[in-house]
Amino acid sequence: MKNDITRREALALGVSVAALAATGASAQTASTIKAADVPAPKLAIEKGASLRMLRPVRFVQADEDVFRANAAKFSKETGVEVKVDFVGWEDINQQTAVTSNSGAGPDIIIGFSDAPHIYIDKLVELTDVADYLGKRYGGWLPLAQKYGKRNKSDAWIGLPFGATAGPLIYRKSVLQSIGFDKVPEDHAGILDLCQKLHKAGKPAGFALGNAKGDGNGFANWALWSHNASLLDEEGNVVINSKETIAALKWVKDIYPSFIAGTPSWNDVSNNRAYSSQEISLTANGVSLYFSLKNDPATKAIADDSEHQLLPKGLAKVSPMAGLTLNAMLFKHSQYPNAAKAFLQFMLEKDQYEPWLNANSGYWSQPLAAYAEAAVWSSDPKVKIFKDTMQSTYYDGYKGPISTATGAVSADYVLIQMCAAVATGASTPEAAAAEAEQRAKRYFRRQGR
Amino acid sequence: MSVTTLPSRGMALRQPGWIARLLDYKPFLIVMCLAPAIGLLTVFLTYPLGLGVWLAFTDTTIGQRGIFIGLENFQYLLKDPLWWNAVFYSVFYTGVATIGKFALGFWLALLLNNHFPLKSLLRAIVLLPWIVPTVLSALAFWWIYDPQFSIISYLLVDVLHIRSTNIDFLGTPWPARFSLIAANIWRGIPFVAISLLAGLQTISPSLYEAAMLDGASAWQRFRYITFPMMMPILAIVMTFSIIFTFTDFQLVYAITRGGPVNSTHLLATLAFQRGIAGGELGEGAAIAVSMIPFLVFATLFSYFGLARRKWQQGEAND
């Protein structure tokens, strides 16, 4: 780690340049983020402490570079060695499970959204750090509170670092050529648009395969925009409802207008189809836009692309949940104070703001004050991602988050329900009944 | 002046120590020699298998200890259409892929058994699909089957103009099922071909010479010499092939993850999906345990049905 720090320190200047190049925003400009003068919790860092952390692999290179530079800075200031390992998104759950069950391994793991709720008994409460950060930086945003706090409690079990969203991305020129300025907010309008896009040979495409991010994103949107949900407020499974049936009928109607093959799509399929101009409308994170923008061969596509929040349908606000990075501190850590101090350090303005800017909008802030970060004014097409964590929608909406809500998502229950109806393999009624049976199975055992 | 004492007769005939006597004791030696192997088998085979079987009778979830629930997991699976679907596809996948692998593998082995230029090089090339890591070949097939960028679709649509639209290999159940089977056959052929080639080379040429003197045709030589002589190795290779195919995981998980609409889930992928991704360790273990009867049946069938036929021992079949 010592060598690593030295190397990373040498890269520190380069990181700022990378952030500048990636975002178009200057990481060097004076910060406009306000930090309240709040006393920090007294964390006596254990003597000889060293930390090991696991987090999901970066989507934007600058994410990793700045994160490592910040960790190195912490080591330099406190003498606490921090080893950060990056693992694939699909592997983080398994590694967290092993760490949790064996009581050994990394001190800190940054998992996704509901992970702290799954391993709740094995985690150290982070309420002191979370309260301090909340008071200092304008308060935690709704999605951060939902995923960070224990259900029906003010105790923090995770510390959200940011969330990424999957709004619509579309080709402006193609929509205009068929008489649309943007994607309509109502279901009939969206259906009409997609049918016209299909007729024009530039169809829409939304993942209906076993895709963790995009597949679940589409299925949730289809349900939530029809006011359907997996759970009610008390945590009862209510997926087999008339709202769900209506959503599934709409999915069945709109599916023929999609490009062929969407039931086999995984999380990168729509990126590829959009980049190659096979489709003109899909839902995706900001990474697609940036990959198009940063490649001279595809810059014209980026210039012609617009983002839009997922249409509301029958919902009052855009029903879009953000995939959240959520840090967990395990009870088996020998240095819990050092770990808390590290998490707090990483979310302080001097470290967090450059990291947020370096991510080009891929991750959006969990703390309100960071809405003033330079990244959000760097490119008007990125601004839409700024309020991702203002969302009131989440995996398991409207009920309490539990292990089972994560399991339903991980087992693709809702995606398969939609795909079964879309492809004609099942009727809406049968598909909803099967999803209810599968979900109830998870909730019977894991809804605790 | 020195005094030398000669060893007494009693000392020369001293009895060996108890350690030496113990090491000369045959039953002890047997136990000592077998202990490391038994220990390794216990730790690395019996314990994981036993733990898996135990988990199948509990409601253990990731992050939570479970309790013994008897056959509840299995009762649920019997009512679960997805499990039945996985059973069906596992059997279908294994059956069709094994037939394909054996037909093509045997044919390839017969071809490679002939003398021709660059024989060693060609045999090495045949091994390539076996050498390539499964996930790598799965990714290659994933590209080949991509609904938008498939090389096959490109050839048929853009080069040969035989079709006007791309083939949707993985977007509908049956094409997806057969696409995976094709990938499995491609991957499995080298194992079958090289194993059978080794078997073919053990057959004495004098048998063929005698048959030719008797005027046997090529088909008759194959039917009455090659095939019977190959039966033992066919049985072994088929047994292994069935086990490998039935327990396949990587190809399916990397290409379809069980989709579309769960139509390509094998029992192994469903077990992983429920047990690890879904967190239901007990249920995942039960799905894995439910594979055991199929594997035992397939193994017994190929072993007793093919390897133990009496005519191989010079007797007529019953």
Q: Which two tokens stand for residue A103?
A: 């009581």
For residues B247-253, average pLDDT = 93
Residue among A110, A126, A114 at smallest CA distance from A400: A114
> Is B190 in a helix, a strand, or coil?
helix
The alpha carbon of residue A19 is apart from the nearest alpha carbon of chain B, in Å, by 32
Q: Which residues contact A365 (CB under 8 A, 6 or more apart)?
A: A141, A162, A352, A356, A371, A373, A389
- Among the partner-chain residues A209, A210, A273, the one whose CB lies closest to the CB of B148 is A273
Query: Is the pLDDT score of A12 beyond 50?
Result: no
- Residue B13 is predicted with a pLDDT of 60
The DSSP letter of residue B159 is I
Smallest Cα distance from A81 to chain B, Å: 28
Residue B155 CA, distance from chain mean position? 34
Query: Chain A residues with CB inside 8 Å of B141's CB?
Result: none
Decide which of B3 and A395 is more confident: A395
pLDDT at B4 over 60: no
- Pairs across A and B, CB distance < 8 A: 120
A83-92, A196-205, B139-148: least confidently modelled range: A83-92
3 state SS of B89: helix
d(CA A384, CA A378): 12
Residue whose structure tokens are 């010592």: A2
Residues of B in contact with A256 (CB under 8 A): none
Q: Which of A91, A95, A157, A210 is the best mutation test for B, with the most CBs of B within 10 A?
A: A210
pLDDT of A19 over the 60 cut? no
pLDDT of B309 reads 58
Q: What pTM did the predictor assign?
A: 0.85
No. of helices (H) and no. of strands (E), chain B: 18, 0
- Confidence check: pLDDT of A342 > 50: yes
Radius of gyration of chain A (CA): 22
Q: Which residues touch B62 (CB under 8 Å, ≥6 apart)? A: A97, A100, A101, A118, A403, B276, B279, B281
CB-based contact A421:A430 (threshold 8 Å) = no
Mark yes or no for CB contact B260/A208 under 8 Å: yes
Lowest mean pLDDT among A164-173, A229-238, B33-42, B174-183: B33-42
- Which strand (E) or helix (H) includes residue B9? helix B9-12
Q: Which residues contact A349 (CB under 8 A, 6 or more apart)?
A: A31, A33, A35, A137, A369
The answer to whether B142 and B250 are in contact (CB under 8 A) is no
Pull the structure tokens for residue A435.
């999803």
Looking at residue A296, its pLDDT comes to 95
Q: CB distance A446–B61 less than 8 Å?
A: yes
Residues of B in contact with A259 (CB under 8 A): 147-148
What are the CA-CA distances from residue B157 to residues A263, A280, B149, B175 (Å)?
22, 22, 11, 18
How many whole angstroms separate alpha carbon A417 and alpha carbon A237? 15
CB B130 within 8 A of CB B191: yes
**pLDDT tens-digit map of B20-61:** 888 888 999 899 999 999 999 888 888 989 999 999 999 998
- Name the CA dihedral angle for A240, A245, A246, A247, rounded to a multiple of 10 degrees: 80
CB neighbourhood size of A199 (10 A): 11
Q: Across residues A217-241, what is the average pLDDT? A: 96
Interface of A with B (CB under 8 A): 93-94, 97, 100-101, 118-119, 121-122, 208-210, 259-266, 269, 272-273, 276, 278, 403, 406-407, 410-412, 416, 419-420, 423, 425-426, 434, 438, 441-442, 445-446, 448
Q: Quick check: A145 pLDDT over 90?
A: yes
In the predicted model, what is the mean pLDDT of residues B212-217?
92
Q: What is the mean pLDDT of chain B?
A: 88
Question: For residue B294, is pLDDT > 70?
Answer: yes
> Token pair for residue B281?
């360790």
Average pLDDT over residues B229-254: 90
Minimum distance, in Å, between the CA of residue B65 and any CA atom of chain A: 9
Written as one letter, the residue type at B87 is V
Residue B264 phi, psi dihedral angles, 5° rounding? -115, 20
Q: What is the rounded CA–CA span in Å between residue A414 and residue A431?
A: 9
Tell me which of B167-176, B245-254, B296-305 is least confident.
B296-305
Residue B318, pLDDT > 80, answer: no
Nearest CA-CA distance, residue B260 and chain A, Å: 5
Q: Mean of the pLDDT values across residues A2-14?
A: 39
Distance CA B113, CA B198 (A): 9
What proportion of chain A, given as a percentage, has pLDDT over 70?
93
Q: Which two tokens stand for residue A418?
A: 């939609």
- Top residue of A98, A264, A275, A438 to mutate, by most chain B CBs within 10 Å, is A264
User: Does the pLDDT value for residue A61 go beyond 80?
Assistant: yes
Q: B44 CA to chain A: closest CA distance, Å?
A: 18
pLDDT for residue A1 is more than 80: no
pLDDT over 70 (residue B134) = yes
Dihedral, CA of residue A11, residue A14, residue A19 and residue A21, to nearest 10:
-150
pLDDT of residue A16: 41
pLDDT at residue A196 tops 50: yes
pLDDT for A323 beyond 50: yes
- Looking at residue A224, its pLDDT comes to 97
Q: What percent of chain A has pLDDT over 90?
A: 77
Q: What is the pLDDT of residue B106?
A: 92
Two structure tokens written together for A377: 């004014």
Predicted confidence at residue A320, as pLDDT, reads 92
Average pLDDT score over residue span A423-429: 95
Of B260, B75, B86, B267, give the one whose Cα is nearest residue A412.
B260
- How far is the alpha carbon of A402 from chain B, nearest alpha carbon, in Å? 12
Q: Write a three-state SS string for chain A.
A: CHHHHHHHHHHHHHHHHHHHHHHCCCCCCCCCCCCCCCCCCCCCCCCCCEEEEEEECCCCHHHHHHHHHHHHHHHHHHCCEEEEEEECCCCHHHHHHHHHHHCCCCCEEEEECCHHHHCHHHECCCHHHHHHHHHHCCCECHHHHHHHECCCCCCECCEEEEEECCCEEEEHHHHHHCCCCCCCCCHHHHHHHHHHHHHCCCCECCCCCCCCCHHHHHHHHHHHCCCCCCECCCCCECCCCHHHHHHHHHHHHHHHHECCCHHHCCCCHHHHHHHCCCCCEEECCHHHHHHHHCCCCCHHHHHCEEEECCCCCCCCCCCCCCEEEEEEEECCCCCHHHHHHHHHHHHCHHHHHHHHHHCCCCCECCEHHHHHCHHHHCCCCCHHHCCHHHCCCCCCCCCCCCHHHHHHHHCCHHHHHHHHHHCCCCCHHHHHHHHHHHHHHHHHHHCC
B165-194 per-residue burial string, b: 16 or more CB within 10 A, e: under 16: ebbbbbbbbebbbebbbbbbbbbbbbbbbb
B153 neighbourhood in chain A, CB within 8 Å: none
Average pLDDT, stretch B85-110?
95
- Decide if A405 contacts A231 (C-beta within 8 A): yes
Residue A7's pLDDT is what? 37
Say what the pLDDT of residue A20 is. 42
**Average pLDDT, rounded, for chain A:** 90
According to DSSP, the residues that pair with B58 across neighbouring strands are: B68
Question: What does chain B come to in residues?
Answer: 318
How many CB atoms lie under 10 A from the CB of residue B116?
A: 8
Among chain B, residues having any CB pair with chain A shorter than 8 Å are 59, 61-64, 76, 81-82, 145-149, 165-166, 168-173, 176, 256-263, 273-274, 276-280
Question: Is the model's pLDDT at B304 over the cut of 70?
Answer: yes
